[in-house]
Amino acid sequence: MRYLLTIRYIGTAYHGWQVQENALAIQPIIQDALQEMFPHRPGVTGCSRTDSGVHANMYCCHFDSPLERDPFGIICSVNRNLPNDIAATHCRVVDEEFHARYSVTAKEYVYRIYNGVHRDPFAHQLAYHYRFPLHHEAMHQAAQHFVGTYDFSSFCANNAKPGDRTRQVFAASVERDGDYVVFRVSANGFLYNMVRIMVGTLLRVSEGKFTPDQIPEIIAARCRDRAGPTAPPQGLYLNQVFYEEV
């Protein structure tokens, strides 16, 4: 049987999702928790890689087992064996053709910027502290130019693997909520560091170093050096994962 497990996590203590030899990752922790319920160590396939320090409000993974187990019981068992910064929220049986990564139709990321003058301990490692004034209206105007199907090479890390860098962005917005400015973007896929580079570019718009109307030129250049810096990881959240089957 194939199970789809949905989790949430604070990524501060982890070097992303994927298992690594010399660093703590989330994938083996989920396997350890599942092994307490199953007589074997299930292989777990995630919906996406995430960078060190990045969080997830919704992260999906699947695993196979010849044993039939109650999905609610799986959630309870897994949560008993997970650290406090990771939690399982949903579980269900899916078709064996379902794949946590390749069946994804869209993802939504959120980037949270704490825009207070003084640091807030409750925002530590959960948002990027940017203490200077933010012109979120100009940032929102600039973000609208991300919407569409483009080659986003300008918004991809230079050390990313080569390949097709065309992605379709469905929606993008910047909104202020008190001392927080939140960037939200959904697409059919994302390049390595794409959202963080988008945020760094939008911050340059707020600073007056770019105008909103320059975003199409930056996209068309297909050159990483034309965009803004890569924003820190602690403000980034994988917010939603979408599947046609679920």
Mean pLDDT, each 10-residue run in order, the chain (246 residues): 97 92 92 91 93 96 94 96 97 95 97 95 95 96 98 94 94 97 97 97 97 98 97 97 82
Q: What's the rounded Cα separation, in Å, for the pair 214 and 209? A: 10
Residues labelled as active-site residues: 51
pLDDT attached to residue 246:
52
Minimal CA–CA distance to 24: which of 33, 13, 35? 13
With b for 16 or more beta-carbon neighbours within 10 A and e for fewer, the 84-121 pattern comes to eebebeebeebeeebbbeebbebbbbbbbbbbeeeeee
The ranges of the chain annotated as CATH 3.30.70.660 are 109-239
Q: What's the rounded Cα separation, in Å, for the pair 9 and 84? A: 9
pLDDT attached to residue 22:
84
pLDDT attached to residue 179:
96
Tokens 């196979």 correspond to: 64
Q: What's the rounded Cα separation, in Å, for the pair 101 and 200? A: 27
What's the CATH architecture for 2-102? 2-Layer Sandwich (3.30)
What's the CATH architecture for 109-239? 2-Layer Sandwich (3.30)
- Listed in sequence order, the residues at least 6 apart from 233 whose beta carbon sits closer than 8 Å to its beta carbon are 11, 51, 52, 53, 54, 196
At residue 183, what are phi and psi to the nearest 5 degrees?
A: -100, 130
pLDDT attached to residue 39:
86
pTM over 0.85: yes
The ranges of the chain annotated as CATH 3.30.70.580 are 2-102
